[in-house]
Amino acid sequence: MKILIITNDLGEKSGWGSYSLSLVERLLKNGFEVVVVCSKKSEERSDIEQIEILPKPLSFKKNYFLAPLYALKILLNSKKAGKINLIHCFVEPYAFIAYLVSIISRARYFITIHGSYGVKTLRGIFYRIFQAIAYKNARKVVCVSDYTRKMVLERVNLDLVNFTVIPNGVGVDFAEKQTPGAKQKENIIIGVGSLKKRKGFDVMVRAMEIVVKAIPGVKYCIVGSQNDDDYTNYIKKMIKDLDLGGNVVLLGKVSDDELKELYKKSKIFVLTPLSDEFNFEGFGLVYLEANTRGLPVVGSYGNGGEDAIKDGFNGFLAKQNNPEDTAEKIIRLLSDSELYERMSQNAISWSREMSWDNIIKKYMNIYGEKR
């Protein structure tokens, strides 16, 4: 079976790109032929057929009003690859283009909705019309979490039975994982994500004021880009005002090797996202990535992290925007060694269950379904 993938790129620098690369690799591994149509080729993956033809994902006017032009370009360029059996759009703003390509090629098509842009594309009246048409006519619309599915269906105003949930997988070589448990670890908490309000780092900083009183010397290390100057300065001021300079560390971006070493030292992973009408965490892959290393996690309710965290099993879910509840969950994990060891073991078993090698089977099943 030959699949036409519509995405932005194949790479690790964005959620879309990382998801695209992971899924394409598993499709190839399982014998599918793949042609990728994108806005930017990945030179590192010259082994995968890529056609650089699309506008940037957030160029909404081009993606919708010029969709027929791009659909035609895709068809003309992909003809060289032979007959396409199936189309899968991995990036929400490209959904209407995928719909048009499907009409002309008569190939069934699928859409993946990751999070915020599944609803942001329903914001304006014109975009809403185009996007609703794309959603309605897809063979399946894959949402990466129940929360994402709920957020989209609340806004699309259609009775869509073609929506399904397939969570993100985690890519891991399990033979290289460290042994779970608290031995040889320090009282370090790690959080990974861009320093911006939606990630809820201010909630965690306020929680740390409580945690430090119960467990002196504990540190929270925040790894991620600091491109939002206003929010970064806000966090720095909060750390200073709460006298947490020795307990909350902003590391910025680090290398893969540095991140690996930090995971080895850390006991737990904490990220407590905040949601509003059009901005939310669609899934929370970072929790699974921490789980593969034996780290229990703490997240928040009211976002896609609810699908990545089984509350009380591989970690805890705290009330959203609630430093007190967040701190209580952290203190429990760091103070109860028996609870910690159990959750550390559970974290690895859960990440095995959520590996891409298992998740890809769900995609293969829907690809083979008959309407």
* pLDDT single digits (tens) 80-116: 667 899 999 999 999 999 999 999 999 999 999 999 9
What are the angstrom distances between the C-alpha of 175 and each of 263, 288, 314? 16, 16, 20
Q: What percent of the chain has pLDDT over 70?
A: 95
- Cβ within 8 Å of residue 73, ≥6 positions away: 53
Question: CATH no. for residue 144?
Answer: 3.40.50.2000
d(CA 110, CA 102): 10
What are the angstrom distances between the C-alpha of 132 and each of 60, 100, 105, 135? 15, 13, 20, 5
Token digits for 132? 């609703």
83 and 13 in a common domain: yes
Structural domain total, the chain = 2
364 and 331 in a common domain: no
Please report the pLDDT score of residue 220 as a whole number: 98
359 and 342 in a common domain: no
256 and 305 in a common domain: yes
**pLDDT for residue 278 is more than 50:** yes
| pLDDT, average across residues 337-363 | 95
CA atoms within 13 A on the CB side of 55: 17
Please report the pLDDT score of residue 79 as a whole number: 73
8 and 94 in a common domain: yes
Please check whether residue 165 is in contact with residue 146, taking contact to mean a CB–CB distance below 8 angstroms.
yes
322 and 263 in a common domain: yes
Alpha carbon 132 to chain centroid, angstroms: 23
Residue type, 203: V
Q: DSSP for 122-167?
A: TSSHHHHHHHHHHHHHSSEEEESSHHHHHHHHHHH-S--S-EEE-P
359 and 349 in a common domain: no
Please check whether residue 37 is in contact with residue 122, taking contact to mean a CB–CB distance below 8 angstroms.
no
| pLDDT, average across residues 270-283 | 93
Look up the domain containing 335 and give its range: 174-353
| Reported confidence tier of residue 148, pLDDT bands at 50, 70, 90 | very high
R_g of the chain, CA atoms, integer Å = 21
Q: What share of the chain is helix, strand, coil (3-state, %, to 5)?
A: 50, 15, 35
162 and 182 in a common domain: no
Please report the pLDDT score of residue 175 as a whole number: 39
Alpha carbon 251 to chain centroid, angstroms: 21
d(CA 291, CA 81): 40
Please report the pLDDT score of residue 188 as a whole number: 97
| Tens digits of residue pLDDT in 150-194 | 999 998 877 789 999 999 999 865 434 455 555 668 899 999 999
